[in-house]
């Protein structure tokens, strides 16, 4: 995929990946190998953490739709090779956090996805994006769980 057309976004925002995505992948070993390589890349590329987590959910039984999503991530990485995590000296010493929740976003379990990032001054020092362990009954409950996650 070194000569592929780059993608502007790492994943299609209109649809969610589901476990019932169609025909099984031709080579599940290749899928797992590529996903593992992308997992290592998330240490310096937090912008792909969420989408890599989404394709990791389907490593046990990847389908063609999952492989297409994986290839889209690779096309995005190819087009954004200059991106990465950079640390600079910063005049401010404030600890700032941002959080967001996708209420009921998983099409299979209906659980919410919480994500956050922590900045010390202008430098990103910690981030996370993961599915909440319990089912939230409202968007407010999901948001409170997300805030509790970033505070802890």
Q: How far apart, in whole angstroms, are the C-alpha atoms of residue 37 and residue 58?
A: 15
Q: For residue 74, what pLDDT is reported?
A: 93
Question: What average pLDDT does range 30-45 have in this prediction?
Answer: 90
Whether 6 and 78 have beta carbons less than 8 Å apart is answered as yes
Whether 15 and 25 have beta carbons less than 8 Å apart is answered as no
Query: Is 42 among the domain residues?
Result: yes
- Categorize the per-residue pLDDT at 33 as very low, low, confident or very high, splitting at 50, 70 and 90: very high
Domain identity same for 143 and 76:
no
Residue where a domain terminates, one of 84, 111, 139:
84
Q: What is the 3-state secondary structure (H, E, C) of 126-138?
A: EEEEEECCCCCCC
Domain identity same for 77 and 121:
no
Query: Is 36 among the domain residues?
Result: yes
Residues spanned by the domain of 143: 95-151
Q: Which residue has the higher pLDDT, 104 or 95?
A: 95
Average pLDDT score, the chain: 84
Residue where a domain terminates, one of 49, 84, 119:
84
For 22: left if phi > 0, alpha if psi spans -120 to 50, otherwise beta; the answer is: left
Query: Is 105 among the domain residues?
Result: yes
Q: For residue 21, what pLDDT is reported?
A: 60
Q: For residue 44, what pLDDT is reported?
A: 81
Q: For residue 117, what pLDDT is reported?
A: 87
Query: Is 90 among the domain residues?
Result: no
Query: Is 89 among the domain residues?
Result: no
Domain identity same for 111 and 80:
no
Residue where a domain terminates, one of 41, 62, 84:
84
What are the strands of the beta sheet with 123-131, ordered from one edge? Answer: 95-102, 113-120, 123-131
Domain identity same for 135 and 102:
yes
Whether 83 and 39 have beta carbons less than 8 Å apart is answered as no
Beta strands (DSSP E) in the chain are 95-102, 113-120, 123-131
Does residue 15 have a pLDDT over 80?
no
C-alpha atoms less than 13 angstroms from C-alpha of 28 in its C-beta half-sphere: 9
Total domains in the fold of the chain? 2
Instruction: Give the tokens for residue 101.
Output: 């929740």
């Amino acid at each position: 995929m070194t000569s592929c057309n780059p993608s502007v976004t790492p994943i299609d925002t209109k649809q969610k990946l589901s476990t019932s995505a169609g025909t099984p992948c031709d080579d599940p070993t290749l899928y797992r190998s590529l996903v593992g390589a992308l997992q290592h890349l998330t240490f310096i590329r937090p912008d792909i953490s969420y989408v890599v987590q989404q394709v990791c959910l389907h490593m046990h039984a990847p389908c063609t739709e999952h492989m297409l999503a994986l290839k889209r991530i690779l096309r995005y990485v190819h087009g954004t090779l200059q991106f990465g995590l950079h640390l600079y000296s910063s005049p401010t010493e404030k600890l700032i956090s941002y959080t967001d929740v996708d209420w009921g976003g998983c099409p299979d379990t209906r659980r919410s996805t919480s994500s956050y990032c922590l900045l010390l001054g202008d430098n990103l020092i910690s981030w996370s994006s993961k599915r909440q362990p319990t089912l939230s009954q409202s968007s407010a409950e999901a948001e409170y769980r997300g805030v509790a996650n970033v505070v802890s």
